[in-house]
Amino acid sequence: MSARPTLLIADGFEHLLARVVPLIQAAEPTASLHLLCTSTFSEHEAHNVSDVEDEARELGAALERVIVVRKRGSIRAALRRSRQAVSRYQRVWLSAHGDRQWVLLAGCWFSGIVAWGSRYELLDPATSRRRSIAAWQMPFLLLRRCLTRRMFNLLLSRLSLVLRLQRVLGWPDSLIVEPVGACNLKCRSCITGVGELKRQTRRLDPQRFRGLMDQIGPYLRWLDISGYGEPLLHPQILDMIRYAKDKGIPVVQIDTNANVPWRVDQLRAFVRSGVDNVIISLDGLTQEVYVQNRVGGDIELVKRFIRELLEAKRLEGSLKPVIVVQMILMRQNEHQVEAFKQAAKDMGADNYRLKHFWLNRPIGAQELNTLLPVAEEHRDFAVQDDRIINKRPPNINYCRLLWDEMFVASDGTVMPCCFDPNATLNMGNVLQEPSPGRVWNGQKYRRLRRQMVTDKGQIETCSTCIMWTVPK
């Protein structure tokens, strides 16, 4: 006999669901399980709602129903839909891993899907530990969690953003660090690949990296170690990841082309370094398609990397790192999109990402036209009369990144974001200053922030950005 249905809300569910569902079944053998997804979907990462529904169904054979609450449209309507969806259930499982649990709690609370009559079970899939919590306890748990240096810092940087302050009250909340500004491939999509990276591209000095982490690591919630080069080519890359994790940074991520001959032993050390996410660039499913962008690459190396990383995770008994295979949508590979989604699952990746092509290098309209996908929904640029048109031009004097993120190149040069690979908006050199604050709140950053809130249209680099657009 099936019991009353139980609701499951899982954050990052693609990779957690397969583990979480059996845990719930072991705890409640008669539970009939429904799943609620409330994710938002960014437009330049074409991962849409119907894909998520399909994945959820496939992943959780035990799931009887999948409910998707779209966050698009008015916030009030989304809150109402979420609350209505949850209030039908007496028992709700919340499942996320480590720090994400608090994000999930916050999400549940702030999106108003806390139903007072329901019983909540918080489940950590990594440890199988569970804890019952009442709805009224959530704000207190959250408050306790928020009274940390990182959350306080986030609050300060958000406040500075809202008040449009030129001098940010906090430190960056996110950081991109480039360990090597050189690469073993020659990708056509990338400024490094086509040899147009003009700034100094030496290897990042690990000692300097540690100094940077000592100063701002305790405030960071997210660190991406990649930039414009292949991070796994840095001989001390694992030490750097470990050092960052020792600073307590919740999410340390690597983007890699995976064209390195690492075998299981080395990958086990990679897993032990504590890296949280590994984004693996795989712009095609066959060697023939793959090399059309990844010039000089070997798809078999990538596949082997994924296989052996999975094996390393298994041997280390670790749920991390989350493995995401990523395809940049291009004319050369767009016919493989559907097969790619399936292949990602078959390979054992936790998730896949379809990324829109963006402009990071000087490129003529005609050449761009040969690289952009044909399908309109797969691209953000158009070519008309030899001109490149940004289909989603920034039309609002706003960019959060200037208040909460920094890009540090391998020679220490600071750029405001990764849309400026050649550092035309050079903010200074963080490795040449006694404190990163000299750059972060230096004259150049302050001037740029002022321009951002008054006349973003004058910042040339921002014209190719596809992130902050208000629909007309």
Binding site for ligand SF4 (CB under 6 A): 183, 185, 187, 190, 192-193, 228-230, 257
**Helix, coil or strand: residue 450:** helix
Q: Return d(Cα 390, Cα 384) in angstroms, integer.
A: 11
Among 6, 111, 174, 256, binds ligand SAM (CB under 6 A): 256
Nearest to ligand SF4 of 160, 189 (CB atom): 189
Among 13, 340, 357, 407, binds ligand SAM (CB under 6 A): 357
Which of 102, 150, 142 has the alpha carbon at shortest distance from 122? Answer: 102
Q: DSSP character for 429?
A: B
Nearest to ligand SF4 of 158, 186 (CB atom): 186
Residues facing residue 388 across a β-bridge: 383
CB 40 within 8 A of CB 67: no
Q: Return d(Cα 36, Cα 34) in angstroms, integer.
A: 7
| Least gap, CB of 2 to ligand SF4 (angstroms) | 50
Q: Which of these segments, 20-28, 129-137, 254-262, 400-408, binds ligand SAM (CB under 6 A)?
A: 254-262
* Strand runs labelled E in 226-298: 251-256, 277-281
Q: DSSP character for 425?
A: T
* Strand runs labelled E in 188-319: 222-225, 251-256, 277-281
Among 358, 381, 403, 445, binds ligand SAM (CB under 6 A): 358
Residue with tokens 């340390």: 252
Residue type, 57: R
- Residue 223 backbone phi and psi in degrees, to 5: -130, 125
Find the DSSP H helices in 70-146.
Answer: 75-87, 100-110, 138-146
| Least gap, CB of 44 to ligand SF4 (angstroms) | 16
| Least gap, CB of 230 to ligand SF4 (angstroms) | 5
Nearest to ligand SAM of 217, 229 (CB atom): 229
What token pair was written down for 104? Answer: 């999930």
- Per-residue x/- mask for ligand SAM, residues 415 to 434, rule CB under 6 A? --------------------
Nearest to ligand SAM of 108, 329 (CB atom): 329
- Per-residue x/- mask for ligand SAM, residues 144 to 183, rule CB under 6 A? ---------------------------------------x
- Per-residue x/- mask for ligand SAM, residues 224 to 243, rule CB under 6 A? --x-x-x-------------
| Least gap, CB of 465 to ligand SAM (angstroms) | 12
The answer to whether residue 332 forms part of the interface with ligand SAM (CB under 6 A) is no
Separation in Å, CA 184 to CA 219, 259, 296: 33, 8, 8
| CB-neighbour burial class of residue 455 (10 A; exposed 0-12, middle 13-18, buried 19+) | exposed
- Cα angle at 55 between 51 and 58, to 5 degrees? 140
Which residues, at least 6 apart from 307, have a Cβ–Cβ distance to it below 8 Å? 347, 348
Nearest to ligand SF4 of 402, 415 (CB atom): 415
Separation in Å, CA 442 to CA 154, 261, 420, 428, 446: 20, 42, 18, 8, 6
The answer to whether residue 279 forms part of the interface with ligand SAM (CB under 6 A) is yes
The answer to whether residue 255 forms part of the interface with ligand SAM (CB under 6 A) is yes
Nearest to ligand SAM of 10, 254 (CB atom): 254
The answer to whether residue 407 forms part of the interface with ligand SAM (CB under 6 A) is no
Nearest to ligand SF4 of 120, 228 (CB atom): 228
Nearest to ligand SF4 of 187, 415 (CB atom): 187
- Residue 417 backbone phi and psi in degrees, to 5: -165, 175
Maximum pairwise Cα distance, the chain: 69
| Least gap, CB of 234 to ligand SF4 (angstroms) | 13
Q: Which of these segments, 82-90, 194-202, 222-230, 450-458, binds ligand SAM (CB under 6 A)?
A: 222-230
Which residues, at least 6 apart from 346, have a Cβ–Cβ distance to it below 8 Å? none
The answer to whether residue 257 forms part of the interface with ligand SAM (CB under 6 A) is yes
Nearest to ligand SAM of 228, 440 (CB atom): 228
| Least gap, CB of 257 to ligand SF4 (angstroms) | 4
Nearest to ligand SF4 of 269, 418 (CB atom): 418
The answer to whether residue 201 forms part of the interface with ligand SAM (CB under 6 A) is no
The answer to whether residue 290 forms part of the interface with ligand SAM (CB under 6 A) is no
Bond preceding residue 321 cis, omega within 30 of 0 = yes
Q: Return d(Cα 259, Cα 280) in angstroms, integer.
A: 10
Nearest to ligand SAM of 243, 357 (CB atom): 357
Among 38, 82, 277, 281, binds ligand SAM (CB under 6 A): 281
Binding residues (CB under 6 A) for ligand SAM: these are: 183, 189-190, 226, 228, 230, 255-257, 279, 281, 326, 328, 355, 357-358, 360
